[in-house]
Amino acid sequence: MEEEKKCDCKSKNQNHQATASGGAVYGLGLIGAAVFFISHATTFWLGVLGLGKAIVWPALLVYHVFKLLYS
């Protein structure tokens, strides 16, 4: 018979909670950005572009902050 591997579930739960809260913040930011960009779109394709912008805005924000800090 195979031995069951025991894990320290207490430490794993703490890691999952931290990940979940970060995902929730990103999700709320994604929804807010999507609403903002779509509400300002004048055509269908600008709305589609707005969805793309809503997905990548955190990366652009971090890029520009680092550019300001290290320039």
pLDDT tens per residue across span 31-66 = 999 999 999 999 999 999 999 999 998 888 889 999
30-31-36-39 Cα dihedral, nearest 10 degrees: 130
56 falls within a domain: yes
pLDDT at 39: 95
In a domain, 22, yes or no: yes
CA separation for the pair 2, 57 (Å, rounded)? 48
pLDDT above 80 for 10: no
Determine, yes or no, domain membership for 49. yes
pTM (2 d.p.)? 0.62
Q: What is the domain extent for residue 40? A: 9-69
14: in domain:
yes
Does residue 57 lie within any of the structural domains?
Answer: yes
Q: Please check whether residue 1 lies inside any domain of the structure.
A: no
Examine residue 62 and state whether it is found in any structural domain, yes or no. yes
Q: Is residue 2 over pLDDT 80?
A: no
Instruction: Confirm whether 4 is domain-assigned.
Output: no
